[in-house]
Structure 1
């Protein structure tokens, strides 16, 4: 039987992957469920984004990205840090990523994300 930690790691990985799907990223309704109201991001572009920036017609925008080297680190009982790598197939760019997820009323939502450009997959 898998531990609660292993199950949570799989769940957060699935949520991270969900946020890479164009149909989720372009849906204000879906993004609203996955991002906390006070969500913010330090983008790999150098821009700072908030949840409200993604609530328009195009949402967070369509992308073609691949997630790898996913890991999870517990910050508290209801807060987790995820770290991973992203390859953006459209921009042909690699980034290191970190997200902070918070659980409220049994539902996990992303509170923070940061992307840092890197030269390659290592």
Structure 2
């Protein structure tokens, strides 16, 4: 297994990729990052599944901060962080579960929870 420091850098880079418009609007790119079983509890309150993302996940202008990893096993890691939505001026707490399978990390679950601070 890679060191915790390099794992943290790698998973943060993957999360930041998911904020980029060219990734969020591309089925090809999303397929590289999201597991077939992927689902999300969105900050909007909606539940989304990978097969519902035919047109991508929409463009956003968000800033990621306070990124941390919480390894659950050698192949599964929970990540937590904060997102600031620059358009809505809204903070949210985020968590994702990443699983290492077939030589690559893929996101299996994501949750966004709006916060007042």
TM-score range for the pair, normalised by the shorter chain length? over 0.9
Partner of 1:110: 107
Structure 2: runs of 5+ lacking an equivalent: none
Quick one: distance in 2 between partners of 1:80 and 1:31? 19
Counterpart Cα distance in 2 of 1:91 and 1:54: 22
Q: Deviations over 1:19-53 (max 9, x none)?
A: 00011000010001100000000011110001112
Q: What aligned pairs does 1:34-73 form with structure 2 within 5 A after superposition?
A: 34-56=33-55, 59-73=56-70
Shift of 1:55: 2.3
Q: TM-score, normalised on structure 1?
A: 0.92
Cα RMSD (Å) = 0.9
Give matches, 1:1-122, under 5 Å: 4-56=3-55, 59-120=56-117
Matched positions, count = 116
In 2: Cα distance, 1:55 partner to 1:106 partner: 25
**1: distance between equivalents of 2:95 and 2:115?**
13
Normalized against structure 2, the TM-score is what? 0.96
Give, in angstroms, the shift of residue 102 of structure 1. Answer: 0.4
